[in-house]
């Protein structure tokens, strides 16, 4: 008889931290002690707190162990699983009440999870994603059964429309409206496509859903197929997501074996099957028409719109394209009703949103919050604030297509319209936090470098215009900025936004425009004062030894790789600026704080 379940994260983050080795060590220790018939070890998807992996949770207590290593497994088995005493020093503790020896806390009590509401992530970290029975035990495929046996296609679409669900892939287009367009298109062949080509730097929301709950996506695609009259679906997923691809393959095979994909599903005469297509890592293929072109076997380049995919999409047939997170919400909306979903979030942004929280933040990981939660709540209450006593400076949302939100707007509500109003966007859900040491000009350059590399080159504004912008930014951070550069950047940005063929080019200038809007003084300092206020840009740095603080120990001179520092022992040393390569080795070595970087 099973008396305890031990859940170990098998997502990409924890796998890279050694969770597979941890699981093997636990299974071996349980076998040695004769507990393997009483304790069940379950490999799950992502729990969310990626920074603290590998993560292990013991149920029914709900004890949350973080950064577990194989070396402590014998102690956990002996003390907790055998004697019933949690090993408190290994327990994740982010609560307001200190833990006594032998105590533990549940996930819902921790600051990281208190304000979260898991809908798209409801099964991630809860079930074994490679076992269909565990998904079914969590009401899996009931929504599909309800749609096929109790609802008409039109009723399904109306229910999704009533819920207020908007696309979680970037633009926030109403999902029910998109489905309705495709349903009204007349054709004997239609398609449902899942966009899992997640390419934003720092984003891993879709990957985590596919790794932790792949059947939710399959069920939603079948529901969408029924709603619009399609019998075939494609999941376009990045080949760089090997764990997600493997679990999708397993899930599709299991669903076919259970009769939940294929012919005559639930004996209703409805046919629907799904195929995988692997992307080669082109960011532009996240744009829906480029994605469709790639599935068709051609170079991934966008097409002019109209016609829109709902009218003429994959292989020239009506097609709906939804991203992973959008689809993961569908079964729960069907089962719980549109009012339930609409009760969360704001008037125009219903439900929850998953964010990949990264950068200068204590708790890097995956969070799902009700729409309308403020940026301050996400960063300080859920994310744990900025490490090392640094000040919050900005947050980048929406990846290369988004913008930077300054500290002065930290109380902004995170929803579609609020973010657009301040020059950013929701995007697919990346959220990168920056502190006082980040140079906003360099941040804009980083994202523009990405879009320049990822431009497909089909249209001139994106192919040439973004490269001209990048050249100007490079000159500015190199200390070669000129009067008029800011105006050139703004002119180029507006032209590119207005004339590019697809969303990649149309949104590529956003990081530059948002940083110019809120951090214009940093651009001006780089150009007119040849100074980086964040002390980040190496070519603008100036290193000076302050005579009143220098003890003449010669430590700085001994570590300087180019011999730019000279002096006499017990006398103040000096730096030759013509030789200095601005590597910072002297600052790192000086114990007296005598070297200043300007």
Instruction: Please tell me the predicted confidence (pLDDT) of residue 97.
Output: 46
| Element containing residue 394 per DSSP (H, E) | strand 392-397
| pLDDT score recorded for residue 283 | 86
Residues whose CB falls within 8 Å of the CB of residue 269, separated by 6 or more in sequence, listed in order? none
Determine the average pLDDT of the residues in 490-504. Answer: 93
The pLDDT value given to residue 90:
87
Per-residue model confidence (pLDDT) at position 282: 86
Q: How far apart are CA 353 and CA 204, in angstroms?
A: 13
Residues of the chain with pLDDT > 70, as a percent, come to 97
Q: What percent of the chain has pLDDT over 90?
A: 81
pLDDT in tens, 227-250: 999 999 999 999 999 999 999 999
Structure tokens at 114: 């208190």
Asked if residue 95 has pLDDT above 60, the reply is no
User: Mind giving me the DSSP string for 446-477?
Assistant: HHHHHHHHH--S-SHIIIIIHHHHHHHHHHHH
pLDDT exceeds cutoff 70 at 101: no
Look at residue 587 and tell me whether its pLDDT is greater than 70. yes
Nearest to 451 by CA among 437, 469, 424, 433: 469
Q: Where are the beta strands (DSSP E) in 472-573?
A: 543-545, 565-566
* 526 and 540 Cβ atoms separated by less than 8 Å: yes
Confidence label for 103 from pLDDT (cuts 50, 70 and 90)? low
Give yes or no for residue 132 having a pLDDT over 50.
yes
What one-character DSSP code corresponds to residue 345? B
The pLDDT tens digits for 362-379 are: 999 999 999 999 999 999
Contact 597, 589 (CB under 8 A): no
DSSP bridge pairs for 321: 193
Predicted confidence at residue 584, as pLDDT, reads: 86
Summarize pLDDT for 313-330 with one digit per residue, the tens: 999 999 999 999 999 999
Residue 61: is its pLDDT beyond 90? no
Strand partners, 64: 57
pLDDT of the residue at 578:
87
Q: Convert the pLDDT of each residue in 299-309 to its tens digit.
A: 999 998 899 99
Peptide bond into 147 cis (omega under 30): no
443 vs 423: CA distance, rounded Å? 16
Q: Is the pLDDT of residue 336 over 70?
A: yes
- Is residue 496's pLDDT more than 90? yes
pLDDT in tens, 65-75: 989 999 999 99
Average pLDDT over residues 345-357: 94
For the cut 90, the answer to whether the pLDDT of residue 192 exceeds it is yes
The pLDDT score that the predictor gives to residue 398 is 87
pTM here is 0.91
Average pLDDT, the chain: 93
DSSP assignment of 349-389: SBSEEEEEEEES-SS-EEEEEETT-BHHIIIIIIS---GGG
Q: Is 66 helix (H, G, I), strand (E, B) or coil?
A: coil
Average pLDDT over residues 21-37: 93
Residue 21 reports pLDDT greater than 50 = yes
């Amino acid at each position: 008889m099973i008396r305890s379940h031990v859940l170990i994260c098998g997502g990409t983050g924890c796998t890279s931290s050694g969770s597979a080795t941890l699981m093997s060590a636990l299974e071996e220790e349980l076998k040695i002690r004769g507990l393997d018939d009483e304790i069940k070890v379950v490999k799950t998807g992502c729990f969310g707190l990626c920074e603290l992996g590998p993560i292990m949770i013991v149920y029914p207590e709900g004890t949350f162990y973080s950064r577990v290593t194989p070396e402590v497994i014998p102690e956990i088995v002996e003390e907790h699983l055998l004697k019933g005493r949690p090993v408190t020093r290994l327990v994740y503790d982010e609560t307001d009440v200190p833990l006594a020896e032998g105590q533990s806390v549940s996930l819902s009590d921790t600051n990281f999870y208190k304000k979260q509401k898991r809908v798209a992530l409801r099964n991630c970290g809860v079930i074994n994603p490679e076992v269909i029975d565990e998904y079914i035990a969590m009401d899996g495929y009931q929504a599909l059964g309800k749609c096929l046996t109790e609802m008409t296609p039109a009723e399904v679409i109306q229910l999704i429309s009533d819920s207020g669900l908007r696309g979680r892939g970037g633009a926030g287009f109403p999902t029910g409206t998109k489905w309705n367009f495709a349903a009204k298109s007349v054709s004997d062949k239609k398609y449902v496509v899942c966009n899992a080509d997640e390419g934003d730097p720092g984003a891993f929301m879709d990957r985590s859903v596919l790794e932790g709950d792949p059947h939710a996506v399959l069920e939603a695609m079948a529901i969408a197929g029924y709603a619009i009259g399609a019998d075939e679906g494609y999941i376009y997923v990045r080949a760089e997501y090997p764990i997600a691809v493997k679990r999708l393959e397993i899930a599709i095979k299991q669903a076919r074996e259970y009769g939940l994909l294929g012919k005559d599903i639930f004996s209703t005469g409805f046919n629907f099957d799904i195929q995988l297509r692997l992307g080669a890592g082109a960011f532009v293929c996240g744009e829906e028409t480029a994605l469709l072109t790639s599935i068709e076997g051609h170079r991934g380049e966008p097409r002019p719109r109209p016609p829109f995919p709902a009218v003429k999409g994959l292989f020239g047939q009506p097609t709906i394209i939804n991203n992973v997170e959008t689809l993961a919400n569908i079964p729960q909306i069907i089962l719980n009703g549109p009012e339930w979903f609409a009760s969360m979030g704001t008037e125009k942004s219903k439900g929850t949103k998953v964010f990949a929280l990264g950068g200068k933040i204590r708790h890097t990981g995956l969070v799902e919050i009700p729409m309308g939660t403020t940026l301050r709540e996400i960063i300080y209450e859920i994310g744990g604030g900025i490490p090392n006593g640094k000040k919050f400076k900005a947050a980048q949302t929406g990846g290369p297509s988004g913008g930077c939100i300054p500290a002065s707007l930290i109380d902004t509500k995170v929803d579609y319209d609020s973010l657009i109003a301040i020059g950013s966007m929701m995007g697919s859900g990346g959220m990168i936090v920056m502190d006082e040491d980040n140079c906003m000009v360099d941040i804009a350059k980083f994202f523009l470098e990405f879009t320049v590399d990822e431009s497909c080159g089909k249209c001139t504004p994106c192919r040439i215009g973004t490269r001209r912008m990048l050249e100007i930014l490079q000159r500015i951070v190199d200390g070669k900025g000129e009067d008029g550069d800011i105006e050139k950047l703004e002119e180029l940005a507006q032209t590119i936004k207005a004339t590019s063929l697809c969303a990649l080019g149309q949104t590529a200038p956003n990081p530059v425009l948002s940083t110019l809007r809120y951090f214009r003084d940093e651009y001006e300092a780089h150009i007119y004062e040849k100074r980086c206020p964040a002390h980040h840009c190496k070519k603008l740095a100036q290193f000076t030894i302050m005579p009143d603080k220098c003890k003449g120990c010669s430590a700085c001179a001994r570590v300087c790789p180019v011999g730019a520092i000279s002096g006499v022992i017990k006398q103040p040393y000096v730096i030759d600026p013509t030789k200095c390569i601005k590597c910072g080795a002297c600052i790192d070595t000086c114990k007296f704080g005598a070297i200043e970087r300007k």
